Amino acid sequence: MKANPDLGHRSSLLAYSGSRLDARSTALRALIETELKQIPADEALGAALRHIRQDSRERALATELTYGVLRRRGMIDWRLTQVMDRPIERLPAVVKTALRLGAYQLLYLDTIPDSAAVHESVQIVKLFRARLGRDWSGFVNAVLRTLLRTAQPAWPDAATHPVAALAVRYSCPEWLVRRWLERFGPSQAERLCRTVSEIPPLTIRVNTLRISREALIEWFARAGIDARATAVSPVGIVLDKCGSVTELPGFRTGAFYVEDEAGQLIPLLLDPQPGERVLDACAAPGGKTTHLAALMQNRGEIIAVDRSPQRIRKVEDNCRRLGVSIVRSVVADARQLAMMAERRERGRNIRTLPFNAPFDRILLDVPCSGLGVLRRHPEAKWRKQAARLERHQRLQRELLEAVSALLRPGGVLVYSTCSTETEENEQVIESFCQAHAEFRRESVGPWLPPTGLPLLTSRGDLFTMLNEQAMDVFFAARLRRVA
C-alpha cells in the first residue's frame, strides 16, 4: 500500500535534524496531524514535542509556530494567495504547511531573520521530494521571496465586503463572521472576531481542599511568578510569564487546576452542599467535577459520567492529583442513565451502577460547538460548520431530557455550554421548559459573586460573551424541579 505523502514521514523528519526534530519540523508535523487526522492541536503538538531536541527554546518556538499558524491561518492564506498562481488548498499538505510556517515567520516573528524563515521552509520541503513525486522547493522559495518583496495589499473593504473584511483581518471563518454580523452588528461582531484571534491568559482554579487563594498567590510570589486574583471567580488566579504549567509550584501536589475563569463560575451556580448526592453527567476531563467536590468539602457523593473510557481516566487522574475522594466514575452515555436506573429498580445490575436514588443536584455541561473557546483551540476554527449546530442541539436536548428525570423534587439542574450560539443555549432551555411544567427557570444571580452580575442576561442566565475580564464565552441556566 502506497504511503500518503501528505502525512509526512517521521524518519525523513528525524534525518533532517540528525537524531531529533527541530522546532520547524516539529510544528510541521503537529500541523499536518491536526489538519489531516483531525487531532486536537495540543495532543498533536504534545506527541511531536516528544521527538524534539531537549532545548527549551526549540520547544517554545515549535509551540509558537504551531499555534501562531492556527490562529492566523486565514490572514496567512490570504497573503499567500496574493503571490501564488493557484489556490493554497490545492497544494499537498506538506507544501501548504511549509508555506504557512514560512509566511508566519515572515509576517509575525521579528526575532527570526527573513533568510532563515525562507531557507528552513525550503529545506523541509526538499525532504519530501521523492514522496511527493516532484521537487516543490523552488516553488516554496519563489512564493516566500515574492511575499517578502510585496507590500501588504489593502484590506477587503468593510463597507462593501463586511464578511471578508473581518474574516481576513482576524482569521475567522466566513460562515461564523456572517452569523455574528447578523446577530450582533458590526461593532460587536468585530470585537468577537478580535477575541478569537488573541492569545488567552493562563488562568487556574485554586483547589481549596489543599490551599487558599491567598496562600497560593504568596507561594507564586516567592517563586518570582506574577500572579493576580481573578475579578469574578473567588478561586481563580491569572498567571503571567510562568513557563511550563507542570513545573509550577503546587501542580504535582494538587494545589490548582488549569481552568478559565468563566468555567470556574459554573459549579458556583449549582451550589452543591456537603453531604449531597450530585451527578456530573458529562464530566470529562474533570475540572468542574473536582470543583464541585471542593465546594462540598469532599463530603457527599458525586457520580461522574462520560461515555469515553479514556476521558473517564482523565477524571480519575485529576481526582487523585487534587485529593478528591467522593467521586465515583461511570463509563456510560448520559442519555441512557434513566434506563439504567429503571433496570436497577427491577433488580438488575444492583452493584454496578449508582442510579438507585434521585440526585439532589445535576450538572449538565453538554458537548457543544465550542465556539466560545476558539482562542484556546484555534484549530477548531477551520473545522466547525454551521450545519453542526443543529446536530449539537439535538444531542443537547436528548441529554437534558434524559438526565432531568434523575433529579429529585426540589433539586437543581444547571445546564451549561461554551458556545456563543442561541441554538445551543436559550433555544434548548426554552423548549425544555415549555415541555416540562415541573421545572422552573431560576436566575443565577444569587449564586454569582457581585462582580459577576453584569454577566446576567435579561432571563437571568449566565452569558460571558463580550465580558470585560478576558474570559472564555460560557452560557449557563439554572433549573429547579418544583413538582
Q: What is the pLDDT of residues 1-31, one digit of tens each?
A: 333 434 444 434 434 443 356 899 999 999 9
Q: Are residues 329 and 247 in the same domain?
A: no
Q: How far apart are alpha carbons 314 and 327 in whole angstroms?
A: 13
Pick the closest to residue 299 from 275, 277, 323, 268 (CA basis). 275
Among residues of the chain, what percentage have pLDDT more than 90? 84
Residue where a domain terminates, one of 82, 117, 149 = 149
Is 154 part of a structural domain of the chain?
no
Q: Are residues 284 and 252 in the same domain?
A: no
Is 157 part of a structural domain of the chain?
no
Whole-structure pTM value: 0.90
Q: How far apart are alpha carbons 365 and 446 in whole angstroms?
A: 20
Average pLDDT over residues 368-378: 96
Q: Are residues 336 and 451 in the same domain?
A: yes
Q: Are residues 126 and 179 in the same domain?
A: no
> Strand, helix or coil at 330?
strand
How does residue 380 score in pLDDT terms, banded at 50, 70 and 90? Answer: very high
How does residue 347 score in pLDDT terms, banded at 50, 70 and 90? Answer: very low
Q: Are residues 281 and 253 in the same domain?
A: no
Averaged confidence pLDDT in the chain: 91
Q: Indicate the range of 55-59, 135-139, 266-270, 461-465 predicted with least confidence.
A: 55-59
Contacts of 374 (CB under 8 A, 6+ apart): 196, 380, 381
CATH number at residue 254: 3.30.70.1170
pLDDT value at 356 more than 80: no
Asked if 167 and 76 touch (Cβ cutoff 8 Å), the reply is no
Q: What pLDDT is stored for residue 22 in this prediction?
A: 87
Q: What pLDDT is stored for residue 53 in this prediction?
A: 66
Q: Indicate the range of 50-54, 246-250, 469-473, 476-480 predicted with least confidence.
A: 50-54
The larger pLDDT score, comparing residue 319 to residue 244, is at 319
Q: Are residues 359 and 459 in the same domain?
A: yes
Average pLDDT over residues 304-322: 96
Q: Which residues are catalytic?
A: 418
Model pLDDT for residues 223-241, shown as the tens digit of each residue: 999 999 999 999 999 998 7
Pick the closest to residue 74 from 285, 382, 355 (CA basis). 382
How far from 210 is each of 216, 249, 425, CA to CA, in Å? 10, 13, 34
How does residue 353 score in pLDDT terms, banded at 50, 70 and 90? Answer: low
Q: Are residues 269 and 388 in the same domain?
A: yes
Among residues of the chain, what percentage have pLDDT more than 70? 92
Is 191 part of a structural domain of the chain?
yes
Which three three-digit cell numbers place residue 41? 492541536
Is 122 part of a structural domain of the chain?
yes
The DSSP code sequence of 192-239 is HHHHHTSPPPEEEEE-TTT--HHHHHHHHHHTT-EEEE-SS-TTEEEE
Q: Are residues 85 and 228 in the same domain?
A: no
Is 290 part of a structural domain of the chain?
yes
pLDDT value at 407 more than 60: yes
Cα first-last separation, the chain: 63
Is 137 part of a structural domain of the chain?
yes
| Structural domain count, the chain | 4
Model pLDDT for residues 440-452, shown as the tens digit of each residue: 999 999 999 999 9
CATH number at residue 116: 1.10.940.10
Q: What pLDDT is stored for residue 79 in this prediction?
A: 97
Q: Is 46 left (phi over 0), alpha (psi -120 to 50) or beta?
A: alpha
How does residue 307 score in pLDDT terms, banded at 50, 70 and 90? Answer: very high
Q: How far apart are alpha carbons 475 and 461 in whole angstroms?
A: 7
Q: In angstroms, what is the C-alpha Rg of the chain?
A: 24
pLDDT value at 344 more than 70: no
Q: Is 333 left (phi over 0), alpha (psi -120 to 50) or beta?
A: beta
Q: What pLDDT is stored for residue 458 in this prediction?
A: 96
Model pLDDT for residues 151-209, shown as the tens digit of each residue: 999 999 999 999 999 999 999 999 999 999 999 999 999 999 999 999 999 999 999 99
Tell me the β-bridge partners of 413. Answer: 362, 479
Q: Are residues 123 and 234 in the same domain?
A: no
Contacts of 278 (CB under 8 A, 6+ apart): 270, 272, 292, 296, 300, 301, 302, 303, 359, 360, 361, 362, 363
Q: How far apart are alpha carbons 302 and 305 in whole angstroms?
A: 10
Is 166 part of a structural domain of the chain?
yes
Q: Are residues 393 and 469 in the same domain?
A: yes
Average pLDDT over residues 58-65: 92
Contacts of 153 (CB under 8 A, 6+ apart): 79, 82
How far from 353 is each of 68, 71, 303, 331, CA to CA, in Å? 45, 43, 10, 10
Neighbours of 17 (CB within 10 A): 18
Q: What pLDDT is stored for residue 223 in this prediction?
A: 94
Q: Are residues 288 and 354 in the same domain?
A: yes
Is 309 part of a structural domain of the chain?
yes
Average pLDDT over residues 102-119: 96
Residue where a domain terminates, one of 258, 286, 306 = 258
CA atoms within 13 A on the CB side of 457: 17
Q: Are residues 125 and 224 in the same domain?
A: no
The larger pLDDT score, comparing residue 267 to residue 470, is at 267
